Copies of this chain bind each other. A is one copy, B any other.
Amino acid sequence: MTDLEKLRERTAELADLECVQMLLGWDQQVMMPSEGAEARSQQLGTVARLNHELARDEQLGRWLDGLDRLDGSGLDGVDADIVRLARRDWERARRVPDELAAELASAGAEGQQRWQQARAADDFSMFAPALERNVTLAREYGALVADDGHTPYEGLLGDYDFGVRADDLRTLFGALADGLLALVEDAERYSPPVTLQVPVPAQEVAVAGTLARLGVDPVGWRVDVSAHPFTAWIGRGDTRVTVRYSDGNVESLLAALHEYGHALYERQIDPALIRTNLGRGTSMSIHESQSKLWENHVARSSPFAELLAAELATAGFAIDPGELYASLTGVQRSLVRVTADALTYPLHIVLRFELELALIEGDLTVADLPGAWSEGVRRLLGLEVPSDALGALQDVHWGAGSFGYFPSYALGCLIAAQLWETLERELGSREEELRRGEGGSIRAWLGERVHRHGRRLDTTELVERETGAPLSIDPFIRYVEPLARPR
């Protein structure tokens, strides 16, 4: 076998192991009897360790060196990208000593546990030492994996959105916050929150009907219920989304469309890239852009509300489409990220970005975090934080050792809006198609312009190439502006 063949075989094995990890995780959340938890965590640990060993293997480096000596000659586009990404992934993997990898894993596991206990007790001080340890380790890890001229925080970002610069985020998110703050009071006035009482069985019918219209069929998909909605791509032709239901507003439908967006991305990657290191979504923010596109631009659209009202009617729940639309688009500043509306959601992310950047760069101590959180919520959301549980203990991410992940949530909103504007500029308004509950042209456009590339294009490169403009806040501001006008 040539070095390239060996490399491709290894990437196929690694891709398989990632699918196996997906399945272990999906099963854990959806199917596993509760007493299997301990064994499952051991199984996940063993597969992750084997995956890591194969990813940082010295042999892989020798194949890459062999290919470097060929100097790219004779490699076609896909193979050249396989080699380029393999070099990047291998370099990043091998810069992390085994001891640090083990310490990161154990600190992340312990941090999650401490976070849970501290949140239940509403006492940040119980969490502080574990967070301190996570910050220190993340800083060390970020410095090791950062490319030359990049900061440790950018090293951390690279695990989720390779190539994104912290200064660019600072500028972008600063302007985003200003733009949203200029709209929020009017939006609260003209798009007030609306509470519905849609029974769960009607929601179930609407979710099943809507997903079926969008191509979710039982031969290639599963739709199950879990405590937190998520998507697992177990392999080509095997995509699994989960939803959850509660009486009230139709958040289940927003969540279902959100997960559908993630799922569709992985399903429409060029088949030629499957079982290579290019055969998955390129970054967290492009992934989030796909979920947000279906959540914000499809599910929260007025024509879609008509369709959804019709679906609910078939389940015996009569509702005016306008009222349904109002419930999907109501704006009100609140303390909680995960239930925030489309307009104020990014403000929660800007807060977290500012704070985690300051923690990693040493401009903020862990002890000062709760105070800084309160100050940020006052500035960005105009609210007072009444407790740690609703403040600095709100999200698990830092407890689990994830720094640099939060930006992708806001970047996803921005990129979704920018892609949607491009799509409608090129294809014309999708209103009629959405009213019919179809999505064929949207799926095809996304497949061609975003999905098929897999990891061949990084975040900013993909956005610029496919929208013809650098990443910008303007399309998102244009998307939320109508909410701040009289309806």
Contact = CB atoms under 8 A, between A and B. Distances in A.
A236 B17 contact: no
A42 B276 CA distance: 13
A32 interface: yes
Contacts of A49: 13
Contacts of A236: 35-36, 38-39
A238 interface: yes
Contact of A34 (B13, B23, B219): B219
B33 A218 contact: yes
Contact size range, A: 35 or more
Contact of A39 (B19, B24, B38, B42): B19
Contacts of A8: none
A27 interface: yes
Given A23-B23, A27-B27, A31-B31, A36 B234 contact: yes
Nearest to A34: B219
Contacts of A40: 234-235, 238
A12 interface: yes
B50 A237 contact: no
Interface string A18-33: 0110011001000111
Contacts of A316: none
Copy number of this protein in the oligomer?
A: 2
Contacts of A16: 42-43, 45-47
Interface in A206-229: 218-222
A275 interface: yes
Nearest to A42: B16
A43 B13 CA distance: 8
Contacts of A35: 219-220, 236-238
Contacts of A275: 42
Contacts of A37: 237
Contact of A235 (B36, B50, B222, B239): B36
A17 B34 contact: no
Contacts of A45: 16
Nearest to A220: B35
Contact of A20 (B24, B36, B219, B239): B24
Contacts of A27: 23, 27
Nearest to A238: B36
Contact of A219 (B12, B33, B239): B33
Nearest to A46: B16
A34 B222 CA distance: 10
Nearest to A53: B50
Contact of A42 (B12, B33, B219, B221): B12
A1 to B, nearest CB: 13
A47 B47 CA distance: 9
A234 B39 contact: yes
Contact of A46 (B17, B218, B221): B17
Among A219, A234, A238, A275, the one with the most B-chain Cβ atoms within 10 Å of its Cβ is: A238
A32 B49 CA distance: 26
Residue with the greatest number of chain B CB neighbours at <10 A, chosen from A20, A236, A239: A20
Contacts of A19: 39, 43
Interface string A99-123: 0000000000000000000000000
A35 B217 CA distance: 10
Contacts of A235: 36, 38-40, 42-43
A39 B23 CA distance: 12
A19 to B, nearest CB: 5
A3 B378 CA distance: 59
Nearest to A35: B237
A457 B20 CA distance: 33
Interface string A343-387: 000000000000000000000000000000000000000000000
18 contacts: A12-B46, A13-B50, A16-B42, A16-B46, A17-B46, A19-B43, A20-B46, A20-B47, A23-B23, A23-B24, A31-B222, A32-B234, A32-B238, A34-B220, A36-B220, A36-B238, A38-B235, A40-B234
Interface of A: 12-13, 16-17, 19-20, 23-24, 27, 31-40, 42-43, 45-47, 49-50, 218-222, 234-239, 275
Given A23-B23, A37-B237, 7 more contacts: A20-B46, A23-B27, A31-B31, A31-B222, A34-B237, A36-B234, A40-B234
